[in-house]
Chain A
């Protein structure tokens, strides 16, 4: 109750009345969409950071050293939860950027939306000196943080190269060696051997009805392996491209072969994995630690290899996603905020500390020199899985353009996948529908 006082209450309703009485009420508030409302470049003060769960914890670990090296700046890292953080950033941006923290942790999926739909919502980091670091991150990553004028609006923190985790014990039983799978066709061809040796088990777990949320990571990574996505780099819609149809067809064929288990419902995927019903996790680098933490009983059973290609001779690496730290355009202390971002993300030491405590795979290439990447991990039968991931990154990956309409595209792609998996739809037809709807809703053109 301490936070409220009578005087405060009165002042507030008084303010409201005045606004109304002035007759410009509508203009006053909806007009406050002007972005850089209170932006400033103070280089001291208290920097607030919004992040989520383990990443927030990891970031907190950097704070004491930073505060010691930068007198005059204090940092407050808040774990505002994921997905709650998106609603909060969105509403903050919609309100002209006010009320946001100084530093925001943003994923590559939401980032272009914020940049495109809320110009000035995120500070221009190039002006603060970010460009000095542009060659220091994993290949293909820097272009994704630039706005249309080539200014950096974010610094890469986490990068996620796609991997192919598999249960060696289950494949051994079927006499199969997943490292020999060159394409997904090879995987599908092995269906019979796999299922007869592992009755009741599936290759992968997928939330078929997308309940309660979309489960398109697998579909997306199949597109990304072909260097494609829902949009091309010019922002045109490629949701019905040959690559997309090929990707969804693979999902359908896997399902037809009985290789996809339904992981819908509360913690469905974890439950399938715990019950030894899933032999492959087509997940990215973040999962290296996650699997160890989440399924300790399966220690020694998992291995990691390169993902199979979609087409013969096709690429066998992809960056499936990444996350960034950004500075809010409304922050009155952008310099101080930038100092913290730079401190946390451009020094191998802090990046690896955060990786260690939060499982956030560093985007900073120099970080990979650390001996921890060569470490043989007993959980993976002594395999140095982190090295495998850094090698996957060395292949270079195509930039994926998420566009400001990613959320809508994801929704429609998910609907298309559900139609195929639940209602037996034809991949080509459902994607064509989805692409047309996306064009109608976003006024983007079909590529």
Chain B
């Protein structure tokens, strides 16, 4: 396209479109650059000591809690989400009232703000079930939050499995269960895994839903019933205290690295699905 030959209106639109895209790219670069610039100087070995005190402001306990939290929430949500998706994708022949209702509810769940999840978790898991501020209360809260994401991504992965494989399996006399578990699920596994990794991203990045469910204790929890803070909550608490902003930015760098890794992993898996289709 030759810019000089453009009509004036075209030229204006050209500039605006490219401008918007450049602005978006610059914002991302600026954001990441800024976090690195502010955080890298504070990224010291003491930040990774096993116990937290106000001298070292260690992020290690928070990192370990994040791993626990992620693992626990997936343990709860993944079977439910995958089971629900199997029902929706493999067992439902016609979209009846129940299925429409399930879809509506899972869309509603997807739209609920995380602070509302936090309130619910506090009222239900922390108070009503008397679990107190604990890893497990946080994990249950988050598992409801990531459920719609897991359901949708798994359902899409299942629907991308060609029907000829199901037919082939039924044709050999295999029942529904065997077909689902031995043929369909393995074929859909990269897509399901990509969804699970996105869910991990949500858990790792979540703050508002955790402050009033898993609490903000800065040490490695000794059991699932103990309070613990994840990396994101750790950052929020540091920002509130205002005394260790440098360490806060260093924590942001670590969190950013985790998120970039998660994104890259999910993308590479998603690519695998595309390759497996032929």
Please indicate whether A and B come from the same complex rather than being unrelated chains: no
A residues adjacent to B (C-beta < 8 A): none
